[in-house]
Amino acid sequence: MTAIKRLYLTETEVDGLLDMELALEALDDVFRARSSGDVRNEPRRRLTTGNGAMNFMAATWPSRGWAGHKSYVNGDMRVMLYGTNGEGLLAVLGAGRMGQVRTGAASGIATKYMARENSSSVGMIGTGNQAETQLEAVCAVRDISEVKVFSRTTERREKFASTMSERLDVNVVAVDSKEAAAEGVDVLVAITNSVEPVITGDMVEPGMHINAAGNNSWMKRELDTMVVAKADLVACDDIDQSRIECGELMRAVETGHFAWESLVRLDRIVGGLRTARYSDDDITLFESQGVAFEDIAVCGRIYELALEQGIGTELP
């Protein structure tokens, strides 16, 4: 066996190697692989630490030769990447920035395969750290010409609009309500940590695609139950993880407005096993929880690039 280079990659080094194009390609590949049964995912587990939680999630992709896990406490994130053909540990990667980009990329993949092909407008609710990559990913997969953004703080939404207009060369405007952000758009994105819904059923219009990407807690909801009920198709990155983390769907099931049997894994749509929409008027919803196989796919690509470019600190 060829000698294995085991690397430690810092947050700064990961950031220098990673871009949205790489993340979108990596996720497209891993979703297709999962649709054929080649990828295994272990949902996130949370162990109490007294004043927080130890988070742990794992996945394997045997045909690609990768396995690994992400763990974090108080936002300090690391991915351990392993080879599945006897290599053992391949890399330890700082995973904060990686998680931000891959979360955006997951919504990008959902938009690519679920939104109308002629979608040209986006509504954003939320302007935090994750919102930038959400919008970047959507603009990478659709020809977007208009974006409306709302957050509770005027200064933050205006700054977001200015920054993203310049970065993406798209007309991004700040609006003064979440209803205004949703009105008339093709793609609506919720990227908040809100406990109570920021998208309600009366904000949803025919033909709309919705990405709900901000929460992964049974105690929080970005969407009310009527949004779920109005959707013609609801997809997620992992059903098992959604059943323990997705507050919107858990509440909809409890009230009889949704059944877990109706939930579709996004990989089945990407792999051509399920049609996302049968009409331009269909309403589609992607519930993003953030799963380990997405992390492993992106980190595997980063590791390969690091080897090619001689980046990282070699581990014994």
Digit-by-digit pLDDT tens for the chain (316 residues) are 578 999 999 999 999 999 999 999 999 999 999 999 999 999 999 999 988 899 999 999 999 999 999 999 988 999 999 999 999 999 999 999 999 999 999 999 999 999 999 999 999 999 998 999 999 999 999 999 999 999 999 999 999 999 999 999 999 999 999 999 999 999 999 998 887 888 999 999 999 999 999 776 666 688 999 999 999 999 999 999 999 999 899 999 999 999 999 999 999 999 999 999 999 999 999 999 999 999 999 999 999 999 999 999 999 9
Give the closest residue to 13 by CA, choosing from 316, 315, 314, 302: 302
Q: What angle do CA 264, 269, 271 make, to 5 degrees?
A: 130
- Rounded to whole angstroms, the Cα distance separating 148 from 121 reads 8
In the chain, the number of structural domains is: 2
Q: Is the dihedral of CA 180, 181, 186, 192 positive or negative?
A: negative
Q: Say if residue 57 is in the same domain as residue 206.
A: no
Please name the residues in contact with 37: beta carbons below 8 A apart, sequence gap of 6 or more. none
User: What is the CATH classification number for the domain harbouring 56?
Assistant: 3.30.1780.10
User: What is the CATH classification number for the domain harbouring 259?
Assistant: 3.40.50.720
Q: Say if residue 160 is in the same domain as residue 66.
A: no
Q: Where is 17: in which H helix or E strand?
A: helix 11-17
Q: Say if residue 130 is in the same domain as residue 13.
A: no
Q: Say if residue 158 is in the same domain as residue 260.
A: yes
Tokens for 271? Answer: 């792999």
Q: Which residues are part of the catalytic machinery?
A: 70
Q: Say if residue 205 is in the same domain as residue 224.
A: yes
Chain mean position to CA 1:
36
- Rounded to whole angstroms, the Cα distance separating 136 from 140 reads 6
Q: Is the dihedral of CA 145, 148, 154, 160 positive or negative?
A: negative
Q: What domain range is 180 assigned to?
A: 107-291
Under DSSP, the state recorded for 4 is P
Q: Say if residue 180 is in the same domain as residue 279.
A: yes
pLDDT digits (tens, 9 = 90+) for 252-295: 999 999 999 999 999 999 999 999 999 999 999 999 999 999 99
- Please compute, for residue 138, the number of CA atoms within 13 A of its CA located in the half-sphere on the CB side: 35
Q: Where is 36: in which H helix or E strand?
A: none
Chain mean position to CA 230:
22
